[in-house]
Structure 1
Amino acid sequence: MQTLPDEFNRPPLKLVGGMPIIGPFADNWENVEHFQARADDLLISTYPKSGTTWVSKIVDLILNKGDMAESQKAAIFERVPFLECSGPGMPSATEILNKQDFPRVIKTHLQVDVLPKSFWDKKCKVIYVARNAKDVAVSYYHFYRMAFGHPDPGTWDEFLNSYMEGNVAFGRWSTHVKGWWKMRQQSDILYLFYEDMLEDPRREIQKLLKFMKWEISDEVMEKILKYTSFQAMKNNPMANYSTFPFMDHSISPFMRKGISGDWKTHFTVAQNERFDEYYRQEMADTDLTFRM
């Protein structure tokens, strides 16, 4: 792994609009906050480790009619820039996006209340993907271990406490998923679930197509299903983030398992009981439900 600049080697989180965020991202916040969306921008929003890259690759292939050669011309993080991303020695995503031609597909992990106002003003379409809280906790812990732009996660138990308290990048999982769930009632938002995508990816891609007002042939659908299987993406350097700086894949791969229920291999009985009680309290005020 490359030598990291000090300012991107386990920097502390900073707050923007009450939400914790990676330090160098916060330093570019003014450019994010004032980012000018366009009416035909397509935004992919998730809490971290909820299927962002998977949906990004699916959308990219839909727009390219299943042409993998076209989709492979650049890494997925270049084809679908991460709105709030910024770091030393690299152009910020806002700089990159401002130079991009139409149409733009943009990724974000921002909570709904801190998303730049221009996305709402322009009535942009948003694809939101949510994943169950326990699997997210496990996946996020391993991501924190290998992605050095984040603070040191400590032990699994220490990280789980931080996650429950919202002291992780992008804040509380519950705040994130509930905020976007509520916003779907008044904005053009397609709300998908990671577990549904695992269960029947063809069905969920059909939802995406309908939402995007796109049509593809059965042949293109088969290509997209093939190229966006977990194993295909894990083995694809243009999708698996192996070319992205500030990550050590020898600690934990960016694409680790891509399954549902892995939390059962990490949570102790005591941790699970504590989390279940926390979860009941956090989700008591919503009709949003998840499959664990």
Structure 2
Amino acid sequence: MSDDQTVISRARLVPVKGILLADHVAEGFEAVSAFRPLPSDILIAAYPKSGSTWTQEIVDLLLHDGDAEICRRAPINERTVLLEATTVVRRQSGLDQLKKMDPPRVIKTHLPLQMVPAGFWDNKCKMIYIARNAKDTIVSLYYYQKMNTFSPEPGPWDSFIHKFMHGELGWGYWHDHVKGFWEEREKRNIHYIFYEDMKENPRREVERLAKYLDLSLSDDVISRIVELTTFKNMKDNPMANQSSVPKEIYNQSISKFMRKGEVADWKNHFTPEQAAEFDEDYEKKMKQVDMPFRTQL
């Protein structure tokens, strides 16, 4: 694919219910909104580049008693389906994929809370939300949009920071996204995970996830799952690292889908001036909520 074709194929952002979505996602949103999940469906929600792929792999292993071979049966995006995926970037839409899957189905979404199909709440589906500190999220998202030729053009780093701060990227403001699920977590039985907690003590978080999913697994199985889902092992696992996505879509010569997986990589990207401006904006948007985000460990 030539550079010209790549530029032409990049998504445009259009507003849907006040939230900017990629045009191909917006076109299918009405059908996604009407989706009726099964009570046994499990939803993993996250703002993009917050650790949802990591969480998907852990959940798949938990559901299959830590059996690594079963969890290599297909690439991650076929084992757990992105609800709003479209045929523009996949062979079939997320909704079509789900019709062919046996329960319990694990579903992923980047939609903010107010756009999650009502059926998930009506059927009291298990719901997991993974949140990552804003600074590391924006760095990871920047590299992702550079390598993902169907995402909107990220532009230069400095302007990308401002787009993030002003809610001009897809899926709405990061701040509203993480707050929306946080504030409803108890009322709606949402299992809320912080990326930094997963990095600090993965065993504790895997055990918490197992308990939430009503699974009783041996210590050995938990240990195996923790080991199988280290960043290095997932990066080397072709069924987890998205290497099966055609290079016309994910150009991993620009940046790997699984790039670093670190906490505090933002320090290698933000200038002191950018960090100060970002922190001031962050304080304004997050002052009404007490969320234990950490930008370093």
TM-score category of the 2 structures, normalised to the smaller one: over 0.9
In structure 2, the residue matched to 1:9 is 9
Secondary structure at 2:91's aligned position in 1?
coil
CA-CA distance at 1:289 after TM superposition:
2.7
CA-CA distance at 1:27 after TM superposition:
1.4
In structure 1, the residue matched to 2:94 is 93
Alignment deviations for residues 224-260 of structure 1 (CA, whole Å, 9 cap, x no partner): 1111000000111110111113110000000010010
Secondary structure at 2:81's aligned position in 1?
coil
1:281 maps to 2:284: yes
Q: Is the 8 A contact 1:22 1:149 kept in 2?
A: no
The normalised TM-score by structure 1 is 0.96
**Which one-letter code corresponds to 1:57 in the other structure?**
E
1:156 maps to 2:157: yes
Alignment deviations for residues 190-246 of structure 1 (CA, whole Å, 9 cap, x no partner): 111000000000000010011001011122112211110000001111101111131
Mean CA deviation greater in 130-139 or 3-12: 3-12
Q: C-alpha distance in 1, partners of 2:202/2:21?
A: 31
Alignment deviations for residues 156-176 of structure 1 (CA, whole Å, 9 cap, x no partner): 001111111111111111000
**Which one-letter code corresponds to 1:138 in the other structure?**
V
**Which one-letter code corresponds to 1:275 in the other structure?**
F
Secondary structure at 1:81's aligned position in 2?
strand
Q: C-alpha distance in 1, partners of 2:87/2:245?
A: 12
Task: Please list, as runs of the form range in 1=range in 2, the aligned pairs for 1:58-207 lying within 5 A after superposition.
Answer: 58-88=58-88, 90-207=91-208
Q: Is the 8 A contact 2:132 2:194 kept in 1?
A: yes
- Unmatched 5+ residue regions in structure 1? none
Q: Is the 8 A contact 1:75 1:239 kept in 2?
A: yes
Q: C-alpha distance in 2, partners of 1:211/1:56?
A: 15
CA-CA distance at 1:90 after TM superposition:
2.0
Counterpart among 269, 272, 286 of residue 269 in structure 1: 272
Q: C-alpha distance in 2, partners of 1:77/1:152?
A: 23
**Which one-letter code corresponds to 1:185 in the other structure?**
E
1:218 maps to 2:219: yes
Q: Is the 8 A contact 1:25 1:87 kept in 2?
A: no
- Unmatched 5+ residue regions in structure 2? none
CA-CA distance at 1:59 after TM superposition:
0.4
Mean CA deviation greater in 83-92 or 208-217: 83-92
Q: Is the 8 A contact 2:7 2:149 kept in 1?
A: no
**Which one-letter code corresponds to 2:135 in the other structure?**
K
Secondary structure at 1:244's aligned position in 2?
coil
Q: Is the 8 A contact 2:207 2:222 kept in 1?
A: no
Q: C-alpha distance in 2, partners of 1:210/1:291?
A: 25
The normalised TM-score by structure 2 is 0.95
Q: C-alpha distance in 2, partners of 1:235/1:263?
A: 24
**Which one-letter code corresponds to 1:237 in the other structure?**
P
**Which one-letter code corresponds to 2:272 in the other structure?**
V
The percentage of aligned residue pairs carrying the same residue is: 45
**Which one-letter code corresponds to 1:23 in the other structure?**
D
CA-CA distance at 1:136 after TM superposition:
0.3
Q: Is the 8 A contact 1:34 1:116 kept in 2?
A: yes
Q: C-alpha distance in 1, partners of 2:75/2:86?
A: 17
CA-CA distance at 1:118 after TM superposition:
0.7
In structure 2, the residue matched to 1:235 is 236
Q: C-alpha distance in 2, partners of 1:289/1:16?
A: 30
RMSD in angstroms over aligned alpha carbons? 1.7
Q: Is the 8 A contact 1:8 1:24 kept in 2?
A: no
Work out the number of aligned pairs and report it: 292
**Which one-letter code corresponds to 1:25 in the other structure?**
V
CA-CA distance at 1:87 after TM superposition:
2.9
Q: Is the 8 A contact 1:8 1:148 kept in 2?
A: no
**Which one-letter code corresponds to 1:108 in the other structure?**
T
